[in-house]
Amino acid sequence: MKNFDEFSKPEEYISPMDKHIRSVIRNWADKEVMPYRRKYDEDWKDHHIIEPAFDKLMGNSGIGLQKALFPPELGGWGIGQSDSAFTISCALAEEVGRADTAMAVAFMVTYWPLTTILVEPHVNWRLAKEFAPMFCNAEKAVFAANAMTEPQGGADIENLELTGGKTIRTVARLEGDEWVINGHKLWPTNSGGVAKLFVVPCTTKPGSTDLKDFAMIFVPAETKGVTQGGPYEKAGMAADKNSDIWFEDVRVPSWYRAHGPSMDAQIFREIIPWGLAASMGFMCGAMLNLYEILYDFVSTKTYKNKPLKEDDHIASIIGRIAGDIDICRILSYEAAKMGDRRNKPYGYPIYSDEVACKMRNLKDFVSDRAVDIFGKAMDVLGPYGADREYDIEKHWRDIKIIQLWMGGKQLCQMEAARYFFNCKTL
Partner 1 sequence: MNKALDELFVYPKELVDEESKRVIHLVRQWADKEIISKRQEYRENYEKLFIETRKSLNLTIGLQRLTLPEEHGGFGWNNPANAPGIASILTEIGRADAAIGVAAAVKYTILAAITMAPNFDKALCDALAPVYCGEELKTFSLILPGMGNIGQDTPLFLGRSILASVEAESDGYVVNGKDLRPINSGAIADLFCVVCADKADKPCIALVPGDNANVVRGKTLLETGLNASSNADVSFNNVKIPKSYVISRQGVVEELYTWLNLLLGGVSVGTGMNFFEMVGDWSETRTIKGGYMMKENPLCASVLADVADEVFTSRLFLYDLAQTISKPNDWGQSGSQRVYTIAQVIGSKIQQNVMRAINRGLELMGSAGYSKEWHVEKHWRDIKTIQSYLCGVGAEAPVKMDTARFFFDCKDI
Task: Please give the residue ranges that form the binding site for partner 1 (CB under 8 A).
Answer: 38, 41, 149, 152-156, 159, 162-163, 166-167, 186-187, 232-237, 242, 298-305, 307-308, 311, 313-314, 317, 371, 375-376, 378-389, 393, 396-397, 400-401, 403-405, 408-410, 413-414
Identity of the residue, 177 or 422, whose beta carbon is nearer to partner 1 in the bound complex? 422
Indicate the residue among 87 and 191 with the shorter CB distance to partner 1: 191
Q: Report whether 181 contacts 170 (CB < 8 A).
A: yes
Q: Which is nearer to partner 1, 174 or 417 (CB)?
A: 417
Between 307 and 349, whose beta carbon lies closer to partner 1? 307
Residue closer to partner 1 by CB (options 295, 384) is 384
Distance CA 382, CA 377 (A): 9
- Cβ proximity to partner 1: between 311 and 354 the closer is 311
CB nearer to partner 1: give 92 or 237. Answer: 237
CB of 90 to partner 1, least distance (A): 24
* Angle, alpha carbons 132-182-143 (nearest 5°): 30
Q: How far is the CB of 405 from partner 1 (least distance, A)?
A: 7
Q: How far is the CB of 383 from partner 1 (least distance, A)?
A: 5
Q: How many CA atoms lie within 13 A of 116 on its CB side?
A: 32
CB atoms within 10 A of CB 166: 17
Instruction: Please answer whether residues 258 and 116 qualify as being in contact, where contact means their C-beta atoms are separated by less than 8 angstroms.
Output: yes
Among 282, 286, 272, residue whose Cα is nearest residue 361: 272
What torsion, rounded to 10 degrees, do the Cα atoms 387, 390, 391, 397 define? -30
Minimum distance, C-beta of residue 252 to partner 1, in the bound complex (Å): 27
Gap between the Cα atoms of 191 and 35, Å rounded: 26
Structural contact between residues 44 and 99, judged by C-beta atoms closer than 8 angstroms: no
Helix/strand/coil for 154 = strand
Cα dihedral angle (391, 396, 398, 402), rounded to 10 degrees? 150
Nearer to partner 1 among residue 100 and residue 156 (C-beta):
156
Contacts with 12 (C-beta within 8 Å, 6 or more apart), sequence order: none
Given the complex with partner 1, which of 281 and 407 has the nearer CB atom? 407
Give the other-Cβ count within 10 Å of 365's Cβ.
15
* Residues contacting residue 327 through CB under 8 Å, at least 6 positions apart: 369
The CB-of-305 to partner 1 minimum distance in angstroms stands at 5
Q: What angle do CA 271, 53, 196 make, to 5 degrees?
A: 45
